[in-house]
Amino acid sequence: MLTSAALVAAVSGLALGLGLIVAIGAQNAFVLRQGLRLEHVAAVVAVCALSDLALIFAGVLGAGEVLERVTWLVPVVCFAGAAFLLGYGALAARRALRPGVLLSDAAGVGAGLAVTVGTCLALTWLNPHVYLDTVVLLGSTASTYGDERWAFAVGAGIGSIVWFTGLGFGARLLRPVFARPTAWRVLDAVIALVMTLLAVSLVVRGIAEL
């Protein structure tokens, strides 16, 4: 039976999890674009949700403390993540600046399942912000709930599942807007900007951790 303390912990985990994940980032931008294209949406949603669940529960198990102690790992992950985000941002900028590439891409000539899943995994696991949000912040917050920390983790996990499912499968509602090539160019321009800003922030953090 779910106690009131467990319910409070679960709702708190849900609220904090959604608060951290809703902000636009590498994952959300990728899920949104795949959802608009109706391309491998279920696989992308599953990868993002399961990755978040794994990281959240790892944080509750204490992985956040280990991550903070291995000081050399943080800058390495930061620089690797920045390089990947810059590359992905460059591809988005290319699509935005070259209508010919954009139109063939929007027409359905997209990446295969393996490439899509690989890109999604990289955007998730090479992004230090994901570790800071899920492993460190959610993990440390969960520890304050004592015996109810697992209820907190479940709430945060539900938040991730609901968000990614809604974003991935709900994006199709915006397809009428993206029937125009200009809308795709604007979206890719925004994605390129977000990826570049995230990459710069990771480089700055990596240098600070050296």
Buried b (16+ CB within 10 A) or exposed e, 4-20: eebeebbebbbebbbeb
- The confidence score (pLDDT) of residue 103 equals 41
- What DSSP character marks residue 126? T
Q: What are 52-71's pLDDT values in tens digits? A: 999 988 888 876 666 667 77
Q: Which of 42-51, 98-107, 109-118 has the lowest mean pLDDT?
A: 98-107
3-state secondary structure at position 25: coil
140 or 208, which is more confident: 208
22 and 162 in contact (C-beta within 8 Å)? no
Share of residues in the chain with pLDDT > 70 (%): 90
CA distance 189 to 184: 8
The total number of structural domains that make up the chain: 1
3-state secondary structure at position 107: coil
Beta strands in 60-133 (DSSP E): none
Q: What are 130-147's pLDDT values in tens digits? A: 877 787 778 777 877 777
151 and 9 in contact (C-beta within 8 Å)? yes
137 or 156, which is more confident: 156
- The confidence score (pLDDT) of residue 40 equals 94
Share of residues in the chain with pLDDT > 90 (%): 21
| Orientation of helix 113-125 relative to helix 41-61, angle to 10° | 30
Residue 117 has pLDDT above 50, yes or no: yes
Q: What are 21-49's pLDDT values in tens digits? A: 776 677 888 999 899 989 999 999 999 99
Supply the range of the domain harboring residue 58: 4-209
